Amino acid sequence: MRTTGARRLVTLYLPLSLAAIVLLFPFYWMLITSLKTNRELIDLGGLPFWVFQPTLEHYQFLFGETGFMRWALNTLTISIAATAISLVCSILAGYTLARLRFRGAGAIAAAIFVTYLVPQTLLFLPLLEVVRQLGLSNTLWSMILTYPTILIPFGTWLLMGYFRSIPRELEESALIDGASRVRAMTQIVLPLAMPGILSAAIFSFTLSWNEFIYALVFTTSTDIKTIPVGVVTELVKGDVYFWGSMMAACLIASVPIAIIYNFFVARFVAGFTMGAIK
Partner 1 sequence: MRAEARKRPVAAGQAPTIGELLDRQGLLAYVLLLPGLLILILFIGYPFVTSLWLAVTDQSVSTSVARFIGLDNFTDELRSQIFLQTVRNTFVYTGVTVVFKLVLGIGLAVLMNQSFRLKNLARAALLLPWIVPTALSAIAWLWLFDATFSVFNWAIVHSGLADRGINWLGEGSWAMTSIIIANIWRGTPFFAITILAGLQTVERELLDAAAVDGASSWQRFWRITLPLVRPVLLIVLLFSTIWTISDFQLVYVLTRGGPANSTHLFGTLAYDVAVRAGQLSEGAAISLYMFPVLILCVVALLLYFRRSST
* 277 binds partner 1 per the rule CB under 8 A: yes
Among 35, 62, 143, 152, contact with partner 1 (rule: CB under 8 A): 152
Written as one letter, the residue type at 35 is L
Residue 120 interacts with partner 1 (CB under 8 A)? Answer: yes
Listed ranges 56-64, 65-73, 190-198, 256-264: which one lies at the site for partner 1 (CB under 8 A): 256-264
Residues 90-119 that bind partner 1 (CB under 8 A): 90, 92-93, 95-97, 100-103, 105, 108, 110, 112-115, 117-119
Q: What are phi and psi of 80, to 5 degrees?
A: -65, -45
Under the binding rule (CB under 8 A), the answer on residue 180 touching partner 1 is yes
Measured over the CA atoms of residue 21, residue 31, residue 262 and residue 153, the dihedral's sign is negative
Nearer to partner 1, 30 or 140 (CB): 30
Asked if 26 interacts with partner 1 (CB under 8 A), we say yes
Identify the helix (H) or strand (E) that includes residue 248.
Answer: helix 243-262
Phi (first) and psi of residue 211, to 5 degrees? -60, 145
Distance CA 179, CA 270 (A): 32
232 binds partner 1 (CB under 8 A): yes
Contact between 170 and partner 1 per CB under 8 A? no
Query: Cα torsion for 13, 16, 18, 19, to the nearest 10°?
Result: 180
**Residue 254 interacts with partner 1 (CB under 8 A): yes or no:** yes
Round to the nearest angstrom and report the end-to-end CA distance of the chain.
37
CB of 46 to partner 1, least distance (A): 10
Specify the residue, 65 or 176, whose C-beta has the smaller distance to partner 1: 176
Q: Which of 122, 123, 72 is CA-nearest to residue 228?
A: 72
Phi and psi for 248 in degrees, rounded to 5?
A: -60, -45
Residues 29-58 interacting with partner 1 (rule: CB under 8 A): 29-30, 33, 41-42, 44, 48-49
- CB of 229: closest distance to partner 1 in angstroms? 7
**Residues touching partner 1, count (CB under 8 A):** 104
278 binds partner 1 (CB under 8 A): yes
**Residue 198 makes contact with partner 1 by CB under 8 A:** no
Distance (Å) of CA 63 to CA 69, 151, 262: 6, 31, 27
- Assess 257 for contact with partner 1 (CB under 8 A): yes
Nearest to 274 by CA among 66, 117, 167, 56: 117
138 binding partner 1? (CB under 8 A) = no
